[in-house]
Amino acid sequence: MTKAKTLIEHLEQQGISRRGFLKFCALTTSMMALPPSMAPGVARALETARRPSLIWLSFQECTGCTESLTRSHSPTLENIIFNYLSLDYHHTLQAASGEAAEQARETAMKENHGQYLVAVDGSIPVKDGGVYSTIAGISNLEMLQQTVEGAAAVVAIGTCAAFGGLPRAHPNPTGAVPVQELVRDKPVVNVSGCPPIPVVISGVLAHYLTFGRIPDLDDYGRPLSFFGTSIHDRCYRRPYYNKGLFAETFDDEGARKGWCLYKLGCKGPTTYNACATVKWNQGTSFPIQAGHGCFGCSEPDFWDAGGFYQPLSAGIGSVGGVAAVAVAAGAGAGIAAGLAQQSQRKHAQLQHEKVTVADLKESES
Amino acid sequence: MSVSLERGIQTLKEHIDAPVASFFTTCVHCGMCADACLFYTETKDPKYTPIYKLKPLRRLWHQEYTFWGKLAAKLGFSKPLTAEELKEWEPLVYDSCTMCGRCSMTCPVGNDIVYMIRKMREGMVAAGFAPEGLKSATERAITIGSPMGVKFPALKNQIKHVEADIGLKIPVDVRGAEYMALLSSMEIMNFPEYIGAIAKIFDQADIRWTLASDAFEATNSGIQIGSSDLAAELVERVVAAAERLKVNYVISPECGHAYTALRWEGPNLIGRPYPFKVIHILELLDQLRSQDKLPVTGKIKERLTFHDPCQIVRRGGVIEEPRRLLEMVAEDFAEMEDHGIMNWCCGGGGGVSTNERAATLKLTAFNRKRHQLEALGVNTLVTVCANCRITLEEGLEFNNMDVAVLGLAETLAEHLAEQSPAPTTTQTH
């Protein structure tokens, strides 16, 4: 088996030069917002790292996240580093099927207990005992609980696994929940996006291999190095926003001149991801560059956060029940106070005494 | 009821409306209004920060109209307003504010500070704390008909001189005229050439106009002292005369507060719409210009500049008209650094020039204009407000500056191209 092989050996076998490997390390280092001096350290760590076991669980998902990782850059280093991991269980990629497949998962769990990584794509239905999605007769919920038990860390890949995504969108018929709502006792990294940027997935894995721990996370559990700034702040169309130059339709002069897409519903200002800097398809482009606003796919509840073409400044409509009551009560109290004050003022007006010349005379000294 | 603290507080309470409440609520205490006020910039005394001039009004609003303020007042944590306090604030509200409105322009949260000063003055009058000069001017305006005590016979006398001077009849009390012109008593007494100027221009442009013997005064001391009751009475006189003479337009003269009073506050003061339109003399002259009815000849060679009267330009919106008119007769027109809506006040508006107590402070504030003029190095200054004009002349004289101050209308009249003498022009005496 290749288990004894280090990454660098594995790469050489694949025809990747040491120079190519170091370039990847430098890129990964900078993407993870580590100081440049760390690049050799990253390289050294990756060179000597042993293949950790990775169990990839696919639940309520569309396989887009796997496609993103395996197809878009192939054959690049992200792909290779992914190959380097001992991918012991993955529906789409593994050769085994049926009982043999489940056996592979159980074997990997037993052999690497406490060491292996779990990657999850897709959300987990919990309504009615989780009957809405099962694999080999085991519900997703049960499989997740079993698998996570001996894991070192969990990486939730894609918005469905990180925040519930499409399955969780209103009215959420299957009671779908994200990984972080079920896994409380293990570190969980959310690599959100629909799909996530490949280099973000590989970056997180590289970070784990290098430092033996997960990277720093933001409030939503996403790696800060990739999700630290908004698309808007890094957008090449930002100067147009600053000048107040907006495309009003997808076919007007502004659209042709490449002006800001804010008024066409771009969610760039509220979306945190690395699209504007890393871009897609080997740095070729990203949605805004292609002329379409950002959907905000890496943010929680993005399906329910108003229309894709609704500008951010437009409200998203209904408020929750409690909020509505609170707003109504607040407005009521405000109106009552306002009326009371108005009557106070009216009272003052009723008591008004006309100012006359005599008044001026009287106050003259 | 006589003037008293209670009456003053009552009046202030009556004038704290929704805008005032929202302004006080949203004030972020940034102090940016200080640098917008010439009384602060020329003295660097923080008490001249515009919003500070409203402190008593703010306290009253807080105590009367906010939950925490009411609670604090009930529990005795905040003291009620006192007569001493209002007396202490009188110079801040009257002497150090020309109601120029520059502070309102710079407020980052859009608070109209001058709107509140106007309201604060309502309470000050009712409490008996208004400057003597303004009180007596207002008394004269109400009882005699003009703040400077000018009665119609005095105007008639000036008209006689003007008629002899220009050889045109000045129409008085002509029913059915298109326009009724108003004057400020400053113009009647100090700058009668204005009357001759508009007469010449109107004659040439074939405009049917008239003066009213019972309402020739445009100045509204009620606005300056800050009493809506008195201001309304003065506006009513103009409205009555315009209705009697059945005119379509009333012309506001080269006077700042007259325009504010008549054009913007008037209908609200009397509580009904006018049956006529109010037009500023500059707007009318600019109309004539665009219709080629204002032919001029010759240009002033000297470099000159224009002083924007606050109430006409910043508060009145008559911004481009004087510039277009001036371009017709000026070869070298230079703008001051801050001009148009961000101009600096002459220092004498809002009743300050009528208030003898404020004389020294007014001259200190004039330094702002002095620096502006010195930076430009001009010897001619054109303006369109008789009150600005007298204040500027005083300031220039005090500082021994050799700058001539001209009114725009008469400057235009001087350059009016003589057309073939109109057949209607006859000597009457």
Query: B141-289 has which CATH code?
Result: 1.20.1050
Q: What is the ipTM of this complex?
A: 0.71
% of residues, chain A, pLDDT over 90:
44
Q: Are B363 and B352 in contact (CB under 8 A)?
A: no
Joined tokens for residue B240:
């009555």
Domain-wise residue ranges, chain B = 5-130, 141-289, 292-414
pLDDT confidence of residue A167: 94
**How does residue A1 score in pLDDT terms, banded at 50, 70 and 90?**
very low
pLDDT confidence of residue B427: 46
**May I ask the CATH class of domain B5-130?**
mainly alpha
- The mean pLDDT value for A89-104 works out to 85
CA dist., res. B100 & res. B36, Å (int): 10
% of residues, chain A, pLDDT over 70:
88
Q: Are A194 and A156 in contact (CB under 8 A)?
A: no
Query: B292-414 has which CATH code?
Result: 3.40.50
Which of B3, B64, B229 is nearest residue A363 as measured by Cβ atoms?
B3
Of A196, A227, A258, the residue at which a domain comes to its end is A227
Partner-chain contact A359 B2, CB within 8 Å = yes
For strand B179-181 and strand B249-252, is the pairing parallel, antiparallel, or unpaired? parallel
pLDDT confidence of residue B222: 92
Nearest to B21 by CA among B85, B78, B52, B64: B64
Partner-chain contact B14 A359, CB within 8 Å = no
Q: Are B307 and B369 in contact (CB under 8 A)?
A: yes
Contacts of B132 in chain A (CB under 8 A): 364-365
**How does residue A154 score in pLDDT terms, banded at 50, 70 and 90?**
very high
pLDDT confidence of residue A342: 82
Q: How far is A197 from chain B (nearest CA, A)?
A: 42
Which of B13, B64, B132 is nearest residue A364 as measured by Cβ atoms?
B132
Name the DSSP class of A323. Answer: H
Partner-chain contact A357 B143, CB within 8 Å = yes
Which of A352, A353, A363 is nearest residue B128 as measured by Cβ atoms?
A363
CA dist., res. A128 & res. A79, Å (int): 38
Interface test with A, best of B5, B65, B90, B269 (most A CBs within 10 A): B65
pLDDT confidence of residue A73: 54
Determine, yes or no, domain membership for A311. Answer: no
Kind plus residue range of the DSSP H or E element containing B409: helix B408-414
pLDDT confidence of residue B127: 92
pLDDT confidence of residue A53: 85
Instruction: Report pTM.
Output: 0.60
pLDDT confidence of residue A338: 81
pLDDT confidence of residue A81: 61
pLDDT beneath 70, residues of chain B: 1, 419-429
Residue pLDDT, tens place only, B291-315:
989 998 888 999 999 999 999 999 9
At how many degrees (to 10) do helices B386-398 and B367-376 cross?
A: 80
**Residue A270 sits in the same domain as residue A150:** no
- The mean pLDDT value for A180-186 works out to 94
Residue pLDDT, tens place only, A14-73:
677 777 777 777 777 776 767 777 777 777 777 766 677 889 999 999 999 888 877 655
pLDDT confidence of residue A2: 41
Parent domain of A340: 321-362
Cα distances (angstroms) measured from residue B322 to each of B284, B309, B398, B409, B413? 11, 11, 27, 10, 14
pLDDT confidence of residue A50: 64
**Residue A192 sits in the same domain as residue A333:** no
**Residue A221 sits in the same domain as residue A245:** no
Residue pLDDT, tens place only, A234-276:
999 999 999 999 999 999 999 999 999 999 999 999 999 999 9
**How does residue A74 score in pLDDT terms, banded at 50, 70 and 90?**
very low
CATH number at residue A238: 4.10.480.10
Q: Domain total for chain A?
A: 3
pLDDT confidence of residue B418: 74
Question: Looking at the predicted structure, is the pLDDT value of residue A189 above 60?
Answer: yes
pLDDT confidence of residue B105: 92
